[in-house]
Amino acid sequence: MREILKNLRTKILPLLRDKRYFYDNKISSFSFGWMLYANLLKPSRTYRRLLNNKSKRFSLFHFIKKRAKSSLDTNIIFDKNNPDESFRKAEVILREHGAVVIENYFSSDAIVKFIDSHKEYIDGMKAAESRFGDPLPLSNELLNLWLDPALYEFMSKYFGTIPYCRSYPLLQYVDKNSTIEFKASKKGIAYPWHIDHCPIFSQMIYLSDISQDGTCMEIVSGSHHYPNVGISLYSDEYIEDCGMPLLRLSGPKGSIQMHDPNVVHKARPVQGSDRLWLFSDFSWGENVLFDISAASGMLAKTKVPLSDLTPMRRAALAGLFPNTPFKGYSMENGFLTRQVSQEI
């Protein structure tokens, strides 16, 4: 079946490429025909998304109805005197657009403490080109931003289940000379329109002011409701002509940005404007990127023992810093799995 579908794509796409604004390998679209084809080619994404659709963010109704421009802004200003209402509004925005920016969530003191504790490392990043940094040492300054209890509860509610840290927290810097290009040195900067893996929920903490006129992230509002499948990218020409609202995400330093894995998005670099944020992502328990080098690097310089973490934080970190199960692990095909037999 897959070979038949691939052969059809090879024959049909050249006929549609210029007419429907498909270029190079950027051939994804929001058409019913494309989504049917993509889901038949990669049914596992649809299956996993429906199986873990506790948040009800994917529904046939959203796919069928005509998408109108929303009157909701992407941003809210966090009210520390009424956090429940702020999170309620943030959830409405997130479900509507597929992304939300909660302005001024973290205090200036918290951001300053984090930046001061990583000043030498940040200065080194800013002297180089755009890239993701290395995993940061585990510290209270990092934990207070990365694993904020209220934000973790907010993600849990949206996901409909307990989220796990999917990867290690990284600083990401987009330099002032960055443009839409695919240089090998521009590591980790997602310039093309794309979607993430379906179990992933991303969190970015602004360590500098981000302007809509400067370097920021751009999303296709409401596209997370569609059964998108990440087998290719979306061309700029197609997105500009698709008729769906395009929104830029921005906010002052200390804001937090979150987006659904299925929303179509990309980095929008502007020359003369840079961007620095703390990036982390969460998962419903799949696609966790445990890495022994990253784990050892984070723990080598820490003064925060894992045993001293709160139960919430220790549970969230279970995939990145695994607990040793009773009777240990078994080896299967070169990978560690939990020991099943308790008779050994």
* pLDDT, average across residues 56-66: 59
Q: Which pLDDT does position 316 carry in this prediction?
A: 96
Task: Note whether 338 and 325 are within 8 A (CB).
Answer: yes
**Rounded mean pLDDT of 7-13?**
67
Ranked by mean pLDDT, the top range of 6-15, 18-27, 121-130 is: 121-130
By 3-state DSSP, what share of the chain in percent is helix, strand and coil, each rounded to 5?
35, 20, 45
pLDDT of residue 336: 80
Between these two residues, 81 and 184, which has the higher pLDDT value?
A: 81
Quote the pLDDT of residue 2.
67
pLDDT at residue 17 in the model = 66
Residue 174 pLDDT level (bands cut at 50, 70, 90)? confident
Average pLDDT over residues 78-104: 95
* Number of alpha carbons in the 13 Å side-chain half-sphere of residue 138: 22
pTM attached to this predicted model = 0.89
Give 133's pLDDT tier (boundaries 50, 70, 90): confident
As a whole number, mean pLDDT of residues 216-240 equals 90
* Domains within the chain, CATH numbers bracketed: 2-322 (2.60.120.620)
Report the alpha-carbon distance of residue 224 to residue 99 in Å, rounded.
9
Can you give the pLDDT at residue 160? 83
Q: Other CB atoms closer than 10 Å to residue 275's CB: what's the count?
A: 28
Q: How confident is the model at residue 14 (pLDDT cuts 50, 70, 90)?
A: low
Q: Quick one: pLDDT at residue 12? A: 66
